[in-house]
Amino acid sequence: MMNRPTPEEKEQWERDGYLVFENAIQGEQLKRLQTAFDFWADECKEEWLERVETADAAATFYDIPNPLEKDTIFIDIIDHPSYYGALMEFTDDDVILLGPQVRTVAPWPVSYTGWHPDVGKDNPIHIKVQIYVNDVPKGGGEFGFVPGSHRHGSGPYKRPLLQESMPGHKSFPGKAGTAIMFNSCGWHTSMDNSSDTPRKSIILIYEKRTPGRVGPTQFASIAEHCNTPARRKIFSLDALSH
Amino acid sequence: MPVIDAHVHVFTTVSDEFPREVSSNTPADRDESAEKLLGLMKETGVDQAVLVQIGGRTIEQHSYLLHCLKTYPDRFLGIGLVPQDHPNPEEHMTELAEGTGIIGFRLFDLGGPRDIFETKDVTEFSTYPIWKCAAEKDYVMWVYPRSIDAHLLPFLVQEFPQVRVVLNHLGMTPGKGKFTQDELGRPQIQIGGYNLNMHTTFRLARYENVTVHLSGQYAFSKEPYPYKNLAGMHSNLFNDFGSKRVMWATDFPWILEEPGYGELTTIIEKLMPHIRQSELEDIMGGNAKRFLRFPDLNS
């Protein structure tokens, strides 16, 4: 099942470069996601610290490695009906997953990242969906975006010294289960997390399919959980889909 | 505007007068004297330099550094070392810095929890007394943290906003087991393709009392001089910290044979050809003079 965006949502996407889906994940599914997140974050933490020590990982956040292989809930959110229709709409029905980041960000005096776009404006449309796994208040490392910064002719933008000094930005505190979809050629960041609570979120990275971008082996390890043509397509599992 | 080399090491052959530790790249008979450095500086138009202690942390092991600072007071400023777990670091720091030309101290370990998720009480960090002393006596902190410690820096910088901080060598934070030497005896540090420091030390750009060295390229790059693969990193640091908070340095003597001292005096122009002449002059010495308070040259 897929919910296509309304005309208003399509207009907002074109104009601002983002959409917010409140309660995108909810109820038992949200609990399942939170439980799996906490379990695997705890399991993988020591290994992450060892990688920090050898300078193979940054000290200010960490991602659960290979999450799709760890719990099927991480697969189920890739094509979740709350936002799958919008992903399809904005990629001309040809979306592929590039990868997930199941990420915990520590409270720190400074945000772990500055304002930036991920790709240039001529890149095939590149979309991220950030899902809050816990409640993320203002000042808790919430997502920040400059509406309209994805459009050709916008900017130029410069990284300010303070996150909150970015002209025209909007920050997105939200409840657990909120999903924020944005065009990642727009300028975005994680605002400072000056709370005492780590920010837990999942960042899903998608793109409109281009030949050879993702090979059929990249997600082969989860092929047994991909039983519909649509799901096999988003995970680029079929050579034919290239 | 003076040209100032903001990070070099000098040492001489081991003697009773100038005792020091030895290592594979600083054997007892190796002599990389201040006079040798001054000769190269004269040839290449460099006016002044920061001498960074090497060869031990005790007062006695600083003898050669103190000798050079006393002999050439308008040419050099110095950075000292503090013994780990010194019972009274303030006493050590004051003895070394009082009227000697030593303006600050270098740290590698910051002495806090390795896990960023642990609650931080900065007063519990083992280096807290060193930072406190620096704040009280206006010393500069010269920081080259290990990767596992990089996340601790903002807590200290925030606690001591009056302390001037210089991040060494592109703000890099070497990882355990990633430090080797090449056939020329130069330090070599393995870094990943994805620059993790963007998420740690680079984030300190928001603090105006923090500056960063544009130096050490030879140790991080696998390419020959001018290390073009590091051009983007230089631009990022320049953009984030601004033209007034980045400082050029050579890391003499490790670069003597390859690429050579003279080559390194033009590395900023080669890696950052887009910057203005006034910005280049700031990076090549103006910023060091202002931030480190170098004396005017007598001649």
What domains does chain A contain, in order, with CATH numbers?
7-241 (2.60.120.620)
Identify the structural domains of chain B with CATH numbers, from first to last: 4-292 (3.20.20.140)
Across the interface, whether the CB atoms of B175 and A54 are under 8 A apart is answered: yes
- Per-residue model confidence as pLDDT tens digits over B213-241: 999 999 999 899 999 999 999 999 999 99
Contact yes or no for B239 and A113 at CB 8 A: no
Q: How far is CA A191 from the centre of its chain?
A: 15
Mean pLDDT calculated for residue range B189-199? 81
Enumerate the residues of chain A whose CB falls inside 8 A of the CB of residue B113: none
Q: By the CB < 8 Å criterion, does B150 face chain A?
A: yes
Amino acid at A90: F
Average pLDDT of the residues in B153-162: 97
Q: Quick one: average pLDDT of B164-182?
A: 94
CA distance B31 to B34: 9
> Is residue B199 helix, strand or coil?
helix
- Residue B220 CB contacts under 8 Å (≥ 6 apart), including other chains: B169, B170, B172, B189, B191, B227, B230
Provide, as residue numbers in chain B, all residues whose Cβ is less than 8 Å from the Cβ of A101.
none
Overall average pLDDT of the B31-37 stretch: 98
Distance separating alpha carbons of residues B94 and B91, to the nearest angstrom? 5
The alpha carbon of B129 is separated from its chain's Cα centroid by a whole number of angstroms, namely 21
Residue in A with minimal Cα distance to B190: A55
Residue B196 contacts A, CB cutoff 8 Å: yes
Does the beta-carbon distance from A108 to B116 stay under 8 Å? yes
Report chain A residues whose CB lies below 8 A from the CB of B206.
110, 161-162
In sequence order, the 6+-apart residues with CB closer than 8 A to the CB of A16 are: A147, A148
Tens-digit pLDDT profile for residues A96-140: 999 999 999 999 999 999 999 999 999 999 999 999 999 999 999
Show residues of chain B in contact with A60, CB under 8 Å. 116, 151, 199-200, 203
Chain A residue with the nearest C-alpha to that of B204: A110
Helix (H, G, I), strand (E, B) or coil at B20: coil
CB contact under 8 A, A158 and B148: no
pLDDT band at B195 (very low <50, low <70, confident <90, very high): confident
> Within an 8 Å CB–CB cutoff, is residue B180 touching chain A?
no
Residue B266 has pLDDT above 60, yes or no: yes
Contact A110 B116 (CB under 8 A): no
| ipTM given for this complex | 0.90
% pLDDT > 90, chain A? 95
CA-nearest of A200, A184, A90 to A141 is: A200
Query: Looking at residue A101, what is its pLDDT?
Result: 98
Rg of chain B (C-alpha set): 18
Is the per-residue pLDDT at A9 higher than 50? yes
Of A108, A113, A159, the CB nearest to B151: A108
The number of C-beta contacts closer than 8 angstroms across A and B is: 83
Nearest CB to A106: which of B117, B150, B204?
A: B117
Q: Please indicate whether, in this complex, the C-beta atoms of A109 and B191 are within 8 angstroms of each other.
A: no
